[in-house]
Amino acid sequence: MRFHKTAASAAVILALAATAACGGKEGSAGDKPKDQTDEKALPSYQVAKDVKVDSPVLKKAQKRGKIVIGAKADQPYLGFQDQSTKKYSGFDIEIAKMVAADLGFSAKQIEWKTVDSGARETAVSKGDVDLMIGTYTINPERKKQIDFAGPYFHAGASLLVKKDEKAVKGPETVKGKKVCSIVGSTPLKTIKEPKYGAKVTELSKYSECVSQVLDGQVDALTTDDAILMGYAAQNPGKLKVVGKPFSDEPYGVGLKKGDKALQKAVADALKAHQDNGDYKKAFEATLGKSGSKLKTPPAITEK
Ligand code: GLU
């Protein structure tokens, strides 16, 4: 697993954080990056007491007094780690907090681990993380190695380009263009399909692809629209999202294969927080601020 950050990606994260902090003084008033989280609007989650679930993973976590959750660190509004405070924020982070609360763990009892896209199945199956919550598409290939609870959100692959880009307008216009995507991610697989004819650059961190778009090394970054809108919102004068979504990416909580009791408990938690309004509140205070629209929360089916 790659827990260390390359200097390049750290620099981009710092740049993103710095732009957010200084309110985008460089651009015109309309170019101001939006705050990632409306802290005051976040729901608070009641921590369940005496949780009894016949789950080996959960029992270990209870003994430890901490639940280990795999997250993303470089996806603004979804899973983002502030490099100065080390604090994680975003919609996926709120999903993690609500699930943890129903399993009996407060936010303080969550041990966060940053896990890149290509390392997720291994992190879950080896037990390096108890749950993986980070823009994690449920698909049959991954289900051979791990289980999911969800989906709790649907995204779709799209394209991020420079604001002044004219040629790349959607997936039908990437022939011969340089397109960056992430090792181990579903949109990478999609964009490599010969019908698109793209010249694909494969990197392991989103922030690295974003900096390549910004400095013109590649023409576009392809991944989920929800992620791309976050980058566009953080770089309003510089980046834009183009094209209609061209895949379905149902997000699930990844967990150890065969731990059926934990899978049910997580699915029940997701459903409960949809029903009590926390989900909507959390969405509006995080991802909704980047321009992503709240769709009807999907039915939790993966039990
Ligand atoms: N949702 C896609 C996936 O699970 C892309 C986003 C990501 O890399 O996390 O592969």
pLDDT band at 294 (very low <50, low <70, confident <90, very high): confident
The Å distance, Cα 125 to ligand 1 centre, comes to: 18
Could you give the CA distance from residue 144 to residue 268 in angstroms, rounded to a whole number?
A: 22
Distances in Å between the alpha carbon of 66 and those of 4, 45, 113, 125, 155? Answer: 22, 17, 12, 18, 30
Instruction: Return the ∠ at Cα 292 (arms to 232 and 167), rounded to 5°.
Output: 45
Contact 241, 164 (CB under 8 A): no
276 and 230 both lie in a single domain: no
Could you give the CA distance from residue 221 to residue 89 in angstroms, rounded to a whole number?
A: 23
Checking if the pLDDT of 55 tops 90, the result is yes
Question: Mean pLDDT across the chain, nearest whole number?
Answer: 90
Over range 58-62, report the average pLDDT: 98
Could you give the CA distance from residue 61 to residue 128 in angstroms, rounded to a whole number?
A: 12
230 and 206 both lie in a single domain: yes
Instruction: Tell me the percentage of the chain whose pLDDT exceeds 70.
Output: 88
Checking if the pLDDT of 14 tops 50, the result is no
265 and 139 both lie in a single domain: yes
Residues 6 or more apart whose CB falls under 8 angstroms from that of 238 comprise 162, 163, 214
Contact 247, 156 (CB under 8 A): yes
The Å distance, Cα 153 to ligand 1 centre, comes to: 12
User: pLDDT value at position 32?
Assistant: 65
101 and 183 both lie in a single domain: no
Q: Where is the domain boundary, 225, 242, 259? A: 242
Of the given ranges (31-40, 247-256, 282-291), which has the lowest mean pLDDT?
31-40
Could you give the CA distance from residue 121 to residue 123 in angstroms, rounded to a whole number?
A: 6
166 and 237 both lie in a single domain: yes
204 and 254 both lie in a single domain: no
The Å distance, Cα 284 to ligand 1 centre, comes to: 21
Closest atom, ligand 1, to C-alpha of 72: 9
pLDDT band at 300 (very low <50, low <70, confident <90, very high): confident
Distances in Å between the alpha carbon of 150 and those of 5, 58, 195, 231, 301? Answer: 30, 18, 31, 25, 6
Q: Where is the domain boundary, 192, 209, 242? A: 242
pLDDT band at 298 (very low <50, low <70, confident <90, very high): confident
9 and 82 both lie in a single domain: yes
Domain span at residue 60 reads: 3-153+249-301
Residue nearest to atom 10 of ligand 1 (CA): 185
Residue 69 maps to which CATH number? 3.40.190.10
Helix (H) and strand (E) counts for the chain?
10, 13
Q: Is 223 in the pocket of ligand 1 (CB under 6 A)?
A: yes
Residue nearest to atom 5 of ligand 1 (CA): 185
Checking if the pLDDT of 162 tops 70, the result is yes
Listed residue (96, 104, 101) closest to 52, CA to CA: 104
Q: Is 9 in the pocket of ligand 1 (CB under 6 A)?
A: no
Over range 156-167, report the average pLDDT: 97
User: pLDDT value at position 11?
Assistant: 45
Alpha helices in the chain (DSSP H): 7-22, 56-64, 91-102, 120-126, 140-143, 186-191, 206-214, 225-234, 260-275, 278-285
The Å distance, Cα 132 to ligand 1 centre, comes to: 12
Instruction: Tell me the percentage of the chain whose pLDDT exceeds 90.
Output: 82
109 and 28 both lie in a single domain: yes
Q: Is 117 in the pocket of ligand 1 (CB under 6 A)?
A: yes
Domain count, the chain: 2
Taking the alpha carbons at both ends of the chain, their separation in whole angstroms is 28
Greater confidence (17 vs 56) lies with: 56
Of the given ranges (10-24, 35-49, 76-90), which has the lowest mean pLDDT?
10-24
Could you give the CA distance from residue 180 to residue 80 in angstroms, rounded to a whole number?
A: 20
Over range 249-268, report the average pLDDT: 97
31 and 149 both lie in a single domain: yes
101 and 207 both lie in a single domain: no
129 and 262 both lie in a single domain: yes
Q: Where is the domain boundary, 193, 227, 242? A: 242
256 and 192 both lie in a single domain: no
User: pLDDT value at position 299?
Assistant: 77
The pLDDT tens digits of the residues spanning 26-37 come to 344 456 666 789
The Å distance, Cα 286 to ligand 1 centre, comes to: 18
Checking if the pLDDT of 9 tops 70, the result is no
